[in-house]
Every structure is written in C-alpha cells, then in structure tokens.
Copies of this chain bind each other. A is one copy, B any other.
Amino acid sequence: MRATKRVKFVDSSTNYNDAHVILNVGGVRFETQRTTLKKLPATRLSKLTPQLSFYDPVLNEYYFDRHPGVFSQILNYYRTGKLHYPTNVCGPLFEDELSYWGIQREEVEPCCWMTYTKHRSTQETLQTLDSLGLDTVRSNMIDLIKKFDWENDLHFMTTGQLPLAKRIRLITWQLFEESRSSIIAKIIAFISMLFILLSITTFVLRTLTIFEVAEYHFVDVYIGDNSTEKTPVQSTERIKIVDGFEIIEWICNSWFAFEIVLRFILAPSKRAFCVSILNWIDFLGTFFFFFTYILYNVFNYDGHQAPLDLLSTISVARMFKLINLHPRLKIITISISNSSRLLVLSMYFCFVVILIAGAALYYAERISNMSKSQIISVMDGIWLALTTVTTVGYGDIVPKSLFGMILGAITTIFGVLIIDLPMPIINEIFDNFNRHLLARQQLPKQRRRVTQ
C-alpha cells in the first residue's frame, strides 16, 4: 500500500521513481538509488529490470529470498565502494551471500583480511582433523575393497564375495593396522607395544656399568726364554653385556622383523607404505640390529663401533609409534609439523644471533684477560651463547670478564625474546587443533565429517 501510493503520487516525476529502487530482501525493505547499483557492473543488482520475475509491479519492489541482515552490508558496498565483512555472522555465511549477489570476495578491504582468512584456516584445520581418521575404529568392507583396489575382482563382481585368499589378507591386514577393530587386533597391538617397551628398556639398561661384563683379549706375551704366554688384556673398544639382554633383544627384534615384513606384504599400496616415516623407523631399527649382529659375530668386525651404535638409537624412535594411540598426541605432532616452516626460520634467526653473540663473547673475553678466560675459541663462545640464549645455562663455560658479562646479559635478554617470539603462533596452531578436536568430540559422530 505504502509503495503503491508512492507510485501514484510520484508518477509524474519519473525522475524520482527511476532514481529510487526498493529491494525487498527476505521481508525487509531497502531503498537505494539506481545509480548506486550501477557502480558495480557485473553483479546481480546492477542488472535489475522490471521484466524480472521477482519484480513486484504493485509494490514497485524487487523481491529476494535472502538474509536481510547481511544484505545491508552488501548494499553498503555499492554505496561506498568498500567491501567490509560483517562480524555478527560467520565468514562462510557472508561468503555464500556474496556469491549469490555476484560479488568477488577478493574485493574485501584490507581491514577485513583477517576475517576473510580466518574461515579458510578453520576449514583447513577441520580437514586436517578429518584426514587423521580419529573416529575410525573399523573400516567397513566396501571402503576396504576400494582401498585394496579390488572392485574389479571377477569373483567379487559375480558372487559379491571376495575369494578366500583376499579375504584372509583383508582380515589379517585389519588385525595389524586397525588396532581397535577387534579383540585380536587389540591383543596384537598390546603385544607389539610390550615388545617396544621391552626393547627400549633393554636399550637403556644395557649401558649401565653394573650390567657390563669385562671382555678380555688374550695377547701373547714373551716371557724370559723365547716362550710366550697368553695374558688377558681388557678390551677397551667392545664391552660385553650380560647375556640376558642379548636374548631379549633377539626376541624383540624377531617380532619387529616379522611384523614389518608381514605388514609390507599385506599393504594395499606399497608406495604409501614406503613413504611412511614410522615404517622407516621400524625397518631401520630392526635392520641395524641384525646388521650389527652379523658384523660383530659373523665378520668379527673389531673397529670403531660407536657410529653403528648411534644408528641403533633409531630403535628408540619406535616409541613414536605409540603416538597413534591418542588423538591429542597426534595433533601435537601435526601442530609441530604444521609450524615447521616457522620453526626453521626462527632457528635460523636464532643461529645468526648466537653466531654473532658467540664471536663477540670470544673477543670480549680475550680483550679483558686471555689467561683466565674459559672461552678459548669462537666455538666455545657460540656454545656459551647457545646455552645462554636458550636460558639453559649449564655453567660449564661462563664469561669471566666484566665486558663478557655485559655481553652475556644482553645475549640472555635477546635470547628470551627470540625464543619466545614464534611461540604464540605455534601455540595457537596447537590450540586451534585442540579446540576443534574437543568441539568435534561433543558432536554426534555422523555430524563430524567436514568433507562430504
């Protein structure tokens, strides 16, 4: 009525009628000028003509079945030429409206960039969480067949059943890979874990001096009249450890070897299997055990052994396998790997600062008193700078001169600064994952998937 009356009264002044446009967006009337709408050419509102089906000639208005609140923000873009995100609705909702009205969301003003990108990072976080498969306890058959690429199996296509061999492979695979899928799978997972713990305990304990058994070489010693005598000389290189440890290690590694071989044979995609870092840890840990055993006992290698032992450290890394047990531990790893680029850059920055501080400390100490100084090379200076910047402060090397102390003080304060600078960002990445993980867990399972 209101509008019709206006039509009546203002009919003569076609100017006014032409100029004003009434847009009924979801029941709320917006009024603007036609010239305003022409400002953004290739959009839905710039092409309004009375011939359109959603034009109501009686009320002289265009009807759109859209969100009225958000529209006031969109119309403002026409008015001011600046696209701002509203902050009372969430990003995706506004972006849906933008795409309906035919507006490029990249046109957003710099002040709203954060709002613009926030939604994107949320979606990335959610997709990462999705891809971790935290909720999968037991894949269903169809998914598995797809995974193993057996959809075109003849037997399966005719009878709807896989041949026995493939069925066994599937079940065995599930036993080893989906640790919560059945009771037997749980038992296998438990055994595997036990062997890992046993192996690590052995690893730690066997270096303790109380378990060492002195091993002797027998060396011929000439005595008096040309006769030789075998004299035991304690081997300094290779220390024999009590036999119990060796037996335990043999058992553990046999299991690991069996497990890795079986898992490799069963794996649907050999390439995916070989790309996994955890599998490599597993393989190398086992491989080095047998390799060093053969080297020492078959080839009687007697040279420098420490580097070999260092390699066997990798077997401790097997503990990382236990991380799969809990979603939150998974997201710790994900957070660290997601912020790895920032970490590397921070470390590089740290490294430069430590280098400069180290060199400065070295010369500062040299100037003051060369003889008392504990810093006898730039290397020592760098080590001092490192332990200072990280606030570890072992105290094995310490600045002794006043100038060195002042430099040390400055290094300390800079250290705290540089170490802590990227912290909140990494923390936020973890925090973000953690919150969404917790949020997910409060939702029913079927609502958790982001990707359809």
A-B contact pairs, 10 of them (CB 8 A): A67-B75, A67-B79, A84-B90, A114-B436, A306-B363, A306-B366, A320-B352, A393-B395, A395-B395, A416-B419
Contact present for B394 and A391 (CB under 8 Å): no
Which listed residue, B4, B68, B402, touches A5 by the CB 8 Å rule? B4
Q: Which residues of the other chain, B, contact A349 by a CB distance below 8 angstroms? A: 323, 329, 332
Knowing A30-B27, A106-B447, A360-B310 are in contact, say whether A420-B427 is a contact too (CB < 8 A): yes
Q: A91-B111, A320-B352, A413-B419 are in contact. List 7 more A-B contacts (CB 8 A).
A: A66-B79, A204-B359, A207-B377, A209-B376, A312-B363, A316-B356, A421-B430
Is A41 in contact with chain B by the CB < 8 A criterion? no
Q: Does A153 contact B (CB under 8 A)?
A: no
A97 and B450 alpha carbons, distance in the complex (Å): 25
A319 within 8 A of B: yes
Output the residue of A115, A409, A422, A426 with the most chain B CB within 10 A: A409
Q: Is A87 a contact partner of B87 (Cβ separation < 8 A)?
A: yes
Please tell me which stretch of A18-26, A137-145, A170-178, A186-194 contacts chain B, meaning at least 4 of its Cβ atoms lie within 8 angstroms of it: A18-26
Name which of A217-225, A265-273, A379-387 contacts chain B.
A379-387
Option from B59, B203, B359, B390 in Cβ contact (under 8 Å) with A359: B203
Instruction: Decide: A417 and B412 in contact? CB cutoff 8 A.
Output: no
| Given A390-B391, A390-B416, A436-B114, also A76-B82 (CB < 8 A) | no
Known contacts A329-B345, A391-B390: does B86 contact A111 (CB below 8 Å)?
A: no
Ranked 5 nearest A-B pairs via Cβ: A27-B31, A392-B393, A88-B88, A394-B395, A310-B363
Return chain B residues, CB-CB under 8 Å to A23: 27
Residues in chain B near residue A89, CB distance under 8 A: 73, 84, 86-87
Interface segment out of the listed A248-256, A295-303, A335-343: A335-343
In the complex, which residues of chain B have a beta carbon less than 8 angstroms from the beta carbon of A346? 332
Cβ of A50 under 8 Å from chain B: no
Interchain CB contact under 8 A, A68 and B332: no
A82 touching B75 in the complex, CB below 8 Å, given contacts A31-B24, A87-B88, A207-B362: no
List CB contacts (< 8 Å) of A397-452 with chain B. 398, 402, 405, 409, 412-413, 416-428, 430-431, 434-436, 438-440, 442-444, 447, 450
Contacts of A110 on B, CB cut-off 8 Å?
122-123, 126, 450
Question: Which residues from chain B contact A107 at a C-beta distance below 8 Å?
Answer: 447
Residues of chain B within 8 A (CB-CB) of A319 are 352, 355-356
- From residue 88 to 134 of chain A, which have CB atoms closer than 8 A to chain B? 88-93, 96, 106-107, 109-117, 119-120, 122-123, 126
| Chain A, 1-26, CB within 8 A of any chain B CB | 1-6, 9-10, 20, 22-24, 26
Question: What's the minimum C-beta distance from A433 to chain B, rounded to whole angstroms?
Answer: 11
A350-B6 contact, Cβ under 8 Å, with A30-B68, A316-B359: no
The answer to whether A80 and B96 touch across the interface, beta carbons within 8 angstroms, is: yes
Check A277 for interface membership: any CB of B closer than 8 A: no
A36 CB–B CB distance under 8 Å? yes
**A243 interface contact, C-beta 8 A:** no
